[in-house]
Amino acid sequence: MIGSESLTVKFAELELRNPTMLASGFLGISQKFLDRIYRSGAGCLVSKSLSNSPIEGYRNPTVIDLDGKSYINAVGLANPGFEAFAKEIQANKTPLILSLVGSHQKDFVHMVKRLDKLNILGFEINLSCPHVKKMGMEVGDDLEMVRSIVRQVRVNTPKPFFIKLGVGNIDILKLAEVARDEKASGVTAINTIRAMAINVQTGSPILSNGIGGLSGRSIKPVAVRCVYEISKKLGMPVIGCGGIFTWEDAVEFLLAGASAVQIGSGIGNKGIGVFKSISRGIRNYLENKGFRNVRDIVGLAHKY
C-alpha cells in the first residue's frame, strides 16, 4: 500500500500535496470558500480572475447547462477588484494562486507589485477569456503583447506564475513558446472555447452577452491535445484544465504531460468531494500499475 506522499507533486518551484487544483472562476472569491475547498482535499486553489478595478459582469442569464457535464458561460469576469480581494485574504493560510486579468502590461505589473507580498504561492495570468472585449483572448491573440506582459510580470515577482492559454486565433504552441522564452514558470491549458446557444422558440441567443465560453466534458479532447503538444514539444510545466470529472480524466492529462490538473465543471457536477475522489483514484491507479509517485506517470504518453 503506497501512502499519501505518492500524490505529492513538485514543479515550477511549487510543491503540492496532490495534483488537483481548484480552477479559476469556481468559488474562488472568498476566504471562507477557499478554506472549505482546501479542507475538502484540493492540493491548491486558484482564485477567480481579479482586475485592477471592480467589474460588475454581464446580466443574467450568464450560464447554460448543456447536459450536466458541459456548460457555456459568459459571466463577464465579474469580481470585486484586486484591492478588495487582497483585504479578503489577508489571513490566508491555504496554498493559493491568484488569477489576474487586464488589458495592458501595466495592469498586470500594478497588481503583481501590490499582491506579491501576500501569503500566496504565485499567479496565473489570464490571457484567454473568450468573451470580454479588450481583455483575455483579445490580449492573448497578440504575440508581442503576450511577450511584453510575461516579461514585465517576471521582472516584478520572484514567485512562480503561469500563463493561462486558450484556443484562439494564434497557435497555442506559439503562445506557450513565448511564455517559456520570457521565463514564465509554466502554462495552464486550456481556458474555455468561444461558443453560443440560440433559443429556437424566440430566435435569440440565450446568454445575455450572446457569445460565451464552452467548458466541461465537450472540450476535454482538445485540452488533452494541447497539454500533450506543449509538454512534448516545449518541455515546460503544464497545468491541465478542461473536462476533468473523474480520476481517469485526471490520469489522462497526467499521461499527456500535465504536472497538475485544475477542476471546475467537475465541481458543478459532483460537488467539492470531487478532489478527494480523484486523488483516491489516482493513488489506486499508481498502486495497481506499480508506480511509487504521481510524478512517475507525467508525460508517459510521449514515448508512443
Catalytic residue among 44, 129, 226, 241: 129
Residue 126 near residue 100 (C-beta atoms within 8 A) = yes
C-alpha to C-alpha distance for 217 and 193, rounded to whole angstroms = 12
Give me the half-sphere count of Cα atoms (radius 13 Å) on the Cβ side of residue 51.
Answer: 19
The model's pTM is: 0.96
Which residue ranges make up each domain of the chain? Answer: 4-299
Mapped onto helix, strand or coil, the DSSP state of residue 42 is coil
C-alpha to C-alpha distance for 211 and 240, rounded to whole angstroms = 24
C-alpha to C-alpha distance for 143 and 181, rounded to whole angstroms = 12
Q: What are φ and ψ of residue 27, in 5° steps?
A: 65, 10
Pairing outcome for strands 70-73 and 63-65: antiparallel
pLDDT of residue 304: 87
Count of beta carbons in the 10 Å neighbourhood of residue 29: 19
Superfamily of domain 4-299: Aldolase class I (3.20.20.70)
Ranges of the chain with pLDDT below 70 = 1, 134, 136-137
pLDDT of residue 137: 64
Residue 207 near residue 68 (C-beta atoms within 8 A) = no
Report the chain's C-alpha Rg in angstroms. 18
Give the type of residue at 17. R
pLDDT of residue 107: 94
Nearest Cα neighbor of 216 from 251, 264, 169 is: 264
pLDDT of residue 27: 78
- Whether 129 is catalytic is yes
pLDDT tens-digit readout, 139-189: 778 899 999 999 999 999 999 999 999 998 889 999 999 999 999 999 999
Give me the half-sphere count of Cα atoms (radius 13 Å) on the Cβ side of residue 182.
Answer: 24
